[in-house]
Amino acid sequence: MRLRIVGLFLGILAAALLMSGPHVFAMQSYIGGLSNSNCTTISAEVTLNHTNDDGGGNDRYWFRVFDGNSADLLVHLDQTINRSASPYFAQIGPLPAAPKSGLYRVEVWDVDAQNNPIRAVDQVFNQCGTNNSWRTGESFPQPVDPEIPQITCHSYMPIYSVNFVPRPGAVIAVWSYGKLRTDDEFLVNTWRVKKWDRLYESRVQVPCGVYVRLYYQPDDTKELIFLRSQYHPNDDYGTPAQEGKLAPWYTTAFPSQ
């Protein structure tokens, strides 16, 4: 089976949620698939990216679930992501949570080293009866964080895998100003993959004049596997410096097992 994602800036789940790209905040996070079980539990798929060191190489965040109408707090998880494990595709839940209104509001919060909340970095609603999920920009303003680069020029990068996905998991795309994996990385996209899927004629929108890297994280081991391209980490590789230009193909291979 081929995974065809042509000319599209992917969301977390390619066929599940109609959502915009990752927000721009100190702790980068993107809430993807949300599901509930008869309004008694809530599950979420969240991509997290370490951007600030709050101590010990960790970036702290809160995962919180509210009753969508009453604002009653139903779930509060105090978590960290370590730089060595970033980016990370987290499958959270199912967690006991029963909103009286039948509406969930799920949020990820950036917190500082002293565990003080800075701001919510992503917010998604989920309706019990229909299990539909959505974002609402009007109720969730997106302030600009000066610690995250602001992108004013975009190019496009085709992605191709020479083989098939060996196990279900997630593919995460990041960009960086540096060619080394130890350089700061920022989220581009995440999409789910199944066994026997293949990245074929896939294309993502990326900043101009940067390096792009792909990671594969199997569901079973959660190991973060760098998907090397035919160019990276050579000095002469990067995205075009002009708006709307097509970058060289990122050709890669999944591990055999």
Per-residue pLDDT of the chain (257 residues; tens, 9 = 90+): 444 333 223 333 333 333 334 444 456 888 988 999 999 999 999 999 988 788 898 888 999 999 999 989 999 999 998 888 999 999 999 999 999 999 999 999 988 888 889 888 889 999 998 999 998 865 555 555 666 778 889 999 999 999 999 999 999 999 998 888 888 899 998 989 999 999 986 788 999 999 999 999 999 999 999 998 876 555 556 899 999 999 888 999 999 87
Q: Same domain, yes or no, for 168 and 97? A: no
**CATH number assigned to the domain comprising residue 107:** 2.60.40.2550
Three-state DSSP class for 105? strand
How many domains, in total, are found in the chain?
2
Number of helical H runs and strand E runs in the chain: 0, 17
Domain that holds residue 215: 154-252
Q: Which residue among 134, 167, 199 closes a domain? A: 134
Torsion, Cα of 181, 183, 186, 191 (10° steps): 0
* Overall pTM > 0.75: yes
Residue ranges with strand state E in the chain: 3-4, 28-36, 41-49, 58-67, 73-82, 88-96, 103-111, 117-127, 133-134, 154-161, 169-176, 186-193, 199-200, 202-207, 211-218, 225-227, 250-252
**Domain co-membership, 174 together with 232:** yes
Question: Do 158 and 129 lie in a common domain?
Answer: no
Q: Give the residues across from 48 on adjacent strands.
A: 29, 88
Q: Do 119 and 198 reside in the same domain of the chain?
A: no
User: Pairing relation of β-strands 28-36 and 58-67?
Assistant: unpaired
